Amino acid sequence: MVPNRIAAARQYLERMNLDALLITSMHNIRYLSGFTGSDGVVVVSRNSLWFLTDSRYRTQAGEEVNGFTLGEYQRKLEESAALLTGQGFLSVGFEASSLTVAQHTQLAELFTSGILAALPGDFSAIRSVKEQEELTALEGIAALASQAFLDLIPRIKPGATERQLALSLEWLLREAGADATSFSFIVASGPRGGLPHAVPTERAIRWGELVTFDFGGMLNGYCSDETVTVAVGSADERQKEIYRIVKEAHDLALEQVRPGVTCRQVDKAARDHITAGGFGEFFGHGTGHGVGLEIHEKPTLSCRSEEILEEGMVITVEPGIYLPRWGGVRIEDTVSVTRDGFRLLTKVPKELMIL
Ligand code: ZN
Ligand code: ZN
């Protein structure tokens, strides 16, 4: 139990004038209780904390979860509802993004002595500002993944397939100590670079092509996220020109990063530059997102985001240009927001590398 995290959850309670919160997403359960297993429920009220899981996790919960009253369930929703009823809670907030419609319907049928209310916005936003210990974890996995990519470079040559390179990068990352990848890697060569989320295929890389790698590791629950686009053998003028525009957009967006700036403003810096270069319609996604226990979390850096950057947030900046049938360029770094700017967590240099 981390007292200031519980305090943040209780502020939600107060703001919504609820008796209790029923937390069901595993990332939020981990954040509040320290539990690293895959099944559980947390109930937070003004003066009590409950943690329920099933018998598989009895020992683990005993070791990891402190400061909570521990309980066990055989049927999660039945016993969660019994706890809420038994405690006499009349209004309970739930995570609408975590319960399915079927689960919500069942819970409402079981919990008839009070009302269930969807938590406003995204409750996960309590995780946006990272503590020092989290920043250290995020910096560690980002550096480890960057080094794995640098170690992959000698293998990026004509004839290597996207799948071979994705697998080699995963191997290097795991060998260096990562627990897992933070998502399925993207390796997109030549014209396939025009697909922002291309799945690696058996396609072999050819001389003179751009190849985009989007990759990340996970360590002690925390994720990393980085994208590098390289040229193999040579780069022609058009490839260099598009790379230059994306790199400038990336740098302009980073220049905006500091506390007090809206996420929309960071997005706008990148988007306006790409639009001025004539490629606005080929940059369809947002400029970035938060990274933490999840690969995509709050805040969101898009043209609609009114969220404001705060010291301690960890975000990506990842503009791109994707031209159908030609290919694409994306450049992504993860940074932490510091008092007067940002700190780069990902370490692969972003000048165009011609391998
Ligand atoms: Zn990425
Ligand atoms: Zn990303």
User: What is the residue-wise DSSP string for 96-129?
Assistant: TTTS-HHHHHHHHHH--SSEEEEPSS-GGGGGSB
The closest alpha carbon to 213, from 251, 180, 168, belongs to 168
User: Facing residues of 8 across strands?
Assistant: none
Nearest ligand, CA 285: 2
How many CB atoms are closer than 10 A to CB 88?
A: 10
Residue 74 has what pLDDT?
A: 96
Neighbouring residues of 197: CB distance < 8 A, sequence distance ≥ 6: 186
Tokens of 208: 């003179």
Q: From the CA of 296, which ligand is nearest?
A: 2
- Reference 147, options 349, 352, 291; nearest CA is 349
Residue corresponding to tokens 């360590």: 219
Question: Consecutive 10-residue runs of the chain (355 residues): their mean pLDDT?
Answer: 88 92 96 96 97 95 96 96 97 95 97 93 89 97 98 98 98 97 97 92 97 98 98 97 98 98 98 98 97 97 96 98 97 98 98 97
Distances (CA, A) of 275 to 54, 271, 351: 53, 6, 21
Write down the pLDDT at residue 45: 97
- Between the CA of 296 and the centroid of ligand 1 the distance, in Å, is 9
Backbone angles phi, psi at 129, to 5 degrees: -90, 120
Neighbours of ion ligand 1 (CB under 5 A): 214, 225, 227, 332
Q: Minimum-distance ligand to the CA of 145?
A: 1
- Give the pair of three-digit tokens for residue 337: 């927001």
What pLDDT, on the 0 to 100 scale, is given for residue 3? 80
For residue 295, report the distance from its CA to the centre of ligand 2, in Å.
Answer: 7
- The four Cα atoms 148, 149, 154, 156 give a dihedral, to 10 degrees, of 140
How far apart are alpha carbons 44 and 11 in whole angstroms?
A: 11
Ion ligand 2 neighbours, Cβ < 5 Å: 225, 316
- Distance between CA 231 and CA 233 in Å, rounded? 6
* Spacing, Cα 288 to ligand 2 middle (Å): 6
Write out the H or E segment, with its range, that includes residue 289.
strand 288-290
Say how many Å lie between the CA of residue 213 and the centre of ligand 1: 8
Q: Which ligand is nearest to the CA of 297?
A: 2
**pLDDT reported for residue 1:** 65
Ligand 2 centroid vs 237 CA: distance in angstroms? 27
- pLDDT, residue 121, reads 66
- Please check whether residue 172 is in contact with residue 146, taking contact to mean a CB–CB distance below 8 angstroms: no
* CA of residue 322 relative to chain centroid, distance: 22
Question: Dihedrals φ, ψ of 248, to 5°?
Answer: -65, -40
pTM above 0.85, yes or no: yes
Question: Which three-class secondary structure state does DSSP give residue 287?
Answer: coil
Q: Is 336 helix (H, G, I), strand (E, B) or coil?
A: strand
What pLDDT, on a 0 to 100 scale, did the predictor assign at position 182? 98
Q: How far is the CA of 333 from the centre of ligand 2 (A)?
A: 8
Q: Phi then psi for 254, rounded to 5 degrees?
A: -60, -35
- In contact, 89 and 45? CB cutoff 8 Å: yes
Helix (H), strand (E) at residue 271: helix 263-276
Domains, in order of start, for the chain: 3-127 (3.40.350.10), 132-354 (3.90.230.10)
CA of 226 to the centre of ligand 2 (A): 7
Going from the Cα of 317 to the center of ligand 1, the distance in angstroms, rounded, reads 9
